[in-house]
Chains A and B, each alone.
Chain A
């Protein structure tokens, strides 16, 4: 079992989520994040005073997947998240030892099915 974590543009979340659904993913955790990569921050002006922000708003997606579905999930996130410009985000994968479905106590693959 793997944990796929993706950082994507906020405005691409709906597209990523739809692509994941088409790929058969039936569970997704979404949280707000800020950060920077090659796309740097932005500048705001209040009454003529400039404020530079190093961080940009991003969204973090987390999906638990079985080994077999990994390729399809990665492709779905790439497809939904890509604009081709700096700031499209990253995807990374972590090995997961186990998972429990809290309602039933099921473990392993059946917990995330």
Chain B
């Protein structure tokens, strides 16, 4: 990602609005936002029927909390002027986005600052949402929202500042001035970060009841997974090509590489499945596509199309092999966030050491004449991001879990988190019985109490003799009376 671009031969003033690039970034930002509902479908299909609404709400909850936090202080922490030696941005300068509503070109030539803010907000949102897959089907909704706010503040914003905000990995930062790592659209900031955070949160919260025993813990709706993967792929063109922050040739390169790596990764995953398990599965196609999207994210603007295909096919194969690891160590990374996002993001980040094209930013990767010069900065950045995210996520997770509690009760987990956390069910399976009390949220409780009171006076053993019709009619009267009053 770059923040000031002057087209060669044109003495363009970065403060003058570039309509073409602005139009593209308005569009790209909307595309990236769509990825989060897409992720909700992707994850939603992977969980059990009784948890689909909750996992989708973890994504939608992130859209709510992170959007607001981003405007208040998140953007400043990530992209404000250096504070604490480039460790974070100053959140006070632009608190509530003050001073940014009409300015142009502070972060990217010709772009209104507000669309840079919006574009970056969509990245923060999906990064938080990605974590939810590792702890699916067992987290209380309120504490999850608190986690989202704390995590984007203490983990995402600092790392975004280091890598993209001119912080410690920036050209003048304490690390960036000595070595320069490449991350076009967020292999470290988004995917490795979310992947390792998911792993640590899964360690803190523990596994689901029945993990590795209950045969019903398996995807309940693969068409949802395919739909989600399709929406993610579509939105990812905004994510990757938009990270150029301009409508130019590099954006076009990033776009096509996002297509090619994903195509190749889909095939790579299916090939592993066909050889290992005997069948190419729809879940494998969806998962392979996402693995390819993840891996090409850091690389898409820095590689050629053949590089993209190679990075993709390896990403698909490696991630397909990595999903089995959780069963070996007994870690319930429920929806394979680690195997897809951490492993895929790590591979894409390291792959730049082999496949990067020579440019003003790098001497090129190993296969393009640059030796291993680009490889070491890639590893170092990956390690630092991983260490910070792992440590801080563990801290935040423990703090919430040991204070207000982050897991639902065992009884609620067994009966289904959709009903107990949200008072909803995704699917109407048996449409008989029940009653309906429009506009009166207490009616159900009142009716239950009235029922209990009525029966309290009935001697035990005589209840069965009450004609069923009489009882139902009496309750019907009570309900009608309440509605008309």
Contacts and interface: CB of A to CB of B under 8 A. Distances in A.
Interface of A: 44-53
Interface residues of B, number: 17
B218 A51 contact: yes
| A44, A49, A52, A53: most-surrounded residue (chain B CB, <10 A) | A49
Contacts of B215: 51-53
Given A44-B218, A45-B279, A48-B323, 18 more contacts: A45-B277, A45-B278, A45-B281, A46-B218, A46-B281, A46-B283, A47-B283, A47-B320, A47-B323, A47-B336, A48-B273, A48-B277, A49-B218, A49-B324, A49-B327, A50-B277, A51-B218, A52-B215
B287 interface: yes
Contacts, number: 30
Contacts of A50: 277
A40 to B, nearest CB: 15
B284 A47 contact: yes
B402 interface: no
B311 to A, nearest CB: 21
A48 B317 CA distance: 12
A86 B133 CA distance: 41
Which 8 A-B residue pairings sit nearest by Cβ, starting from the closest? A47-B323, A45-B277, A48-B324, A46-B218, A51-B215, A51-B218, A46-B283, A46-B219
B276 interface: yes
12 contacts: A45-B273, A46-B219, A46-B283, A47-B284, A48-B277, A48-B320, A49-B218, A49-B324, A49-B327, A50-B277, A51-B218, A53-B215
A44 B219 CA distance: 11
Contacts of B277: 45, 48, 50
Interface in B201-235: 215, 218-219
Contacts of B279: 45
A12 B323 CA distance: 39
Interface in B310-331: 320, 323-324, 327
A79 B219 CA distance: 38
A48 B276 contact: yes
A64 B339 CA distance: 56
Contacts of A51: 215, 218
Interface in B143-177: none
Contacts of B278: 45
Nearest to A50: B277
B330 to A, nearest CB: 13
Contacts of B320: 47-48
A44 B279 CA distance: 10
A39 to B, nearest CB: 19
A50 B218 CA distance: 10
Interface string B45-61: 00000000000000000
B378 to A, nearest CB: 28
Contacts of B218: 44, 46, 49, 51
